Every structure is written in structure tokens, then in C-alpha cells.
Amino acid sequence: MEDRWIEDLRALVIREPAGEAREKAALERILARFACVTGTLHRLDEKSGLLRLVAAIGLPPTILPQVQAIPIGKGMAGIAAERRAPVQVCNLQTDDSGVVRPAARDTKVAGAITVPILRASALLGTLGIARREPHEFSAADSDLLLRAASAVADHW
């Protein structure tokens, strides 16, 4: 079933014209699959070394300027990019690990995960999703999200 879902996601990416609409449509599909209400998709700008926002769903307008460009190593997206591994928090509202940036609490979400988008170990960007309630994403969820991120970036 999961393989079929990934193939459907790939087909969606192929069908949609290039640009923000394609990334947003894919992000909507991913949010629905994981029962999440917010999501971001960042692409690595190799010149600046920053993660640049290419699609966002469910973020408050006050947060959008703060997530337009993220340095590697900062916040969940930056740390996932730096580690080239998923980063998650069960409750973003109460996390004190240092992974969550203070402004992220304004999103009013709790359970969150961000995964790197990799191609042959090269960093392409990050994909982050979150639920309103506290939630621990399983290893299987993490693996599926990594595959989904790769499918979205297949045509980058």
C-alpha cells in the first residue's frame, strides 16, 4: 500500500507543471497521508547555502517571513539538513532540546518531523510536517516521509 502511495505521489509530481503549484499539491497529499495540518518544503540554494522555502501550508502569516530562508544547523529544518537525518519533536510547544526555534511555537502545532531531501547523499532540501496534537512519528513513518520527500524532488 505504501509503495502505491509513493507511486501516486510521483505521478502527481510528473503531472503538475513545474513550480510552486506542483510542490504545494504534493505537500497537500503528504499532509493528508500523515494527518498533519502544517507543512513546509525547502530547497537548498547552493550559492547561499540557505534552505529556501518553495511551499508552505497551514503556517500563520506571521511565521512565513521567518521560514523563507533557513541556515543549515538552525531550527528543525536546518538541523535535519545538517545531520542528513530526520529530526522530530513529540510536542513542539514544550520542547526544550534546543531544536525548536522560539517562533515555531506560534504555529500552534505539537508533533512535528522534518526530513532531509537527499539524492545520492547530496542534500537537496527538507520536508517538514506537523500535527496539532503531541505525536511521536514511528520509524516506518519517518522512512515513508523520506521516500515521499525524494519523490517530490525527483524533478528538481
CATH number at residue 151: 3.30.450.40
| Per-residue pLDDT tens digits for 32-84 | 999 999 999 999 999 999 999 999 999 999 889 999 999 999 999 999 999 99
d(CA 24, CA 79): 23
Query: Number of structural domains, the chain?
Result: 1
User: Of residues 34 and 19, which shows the higher confidence score?
Assistant: 34
Length of the chain: 156
To the question of pTM greater than 0.75 for the whole model, the response is yes
Q: What range defines the domain where residue 50 resides?
A: 2-155
d(CA 82, CA 100): 15
| Per-residue pLDDT tens digits for 107-151 | 667 789 999 999 988 999 999 999 999 999 999 999 999 999 999
| Nearest CA-CA partner of 137 in 90, 94, 67, 105 | 90
d(CA 79, CA 110): 18
Cα 122 to chain centroid, rounded: 17
Cα 1 to chain centroid, rounded: 22
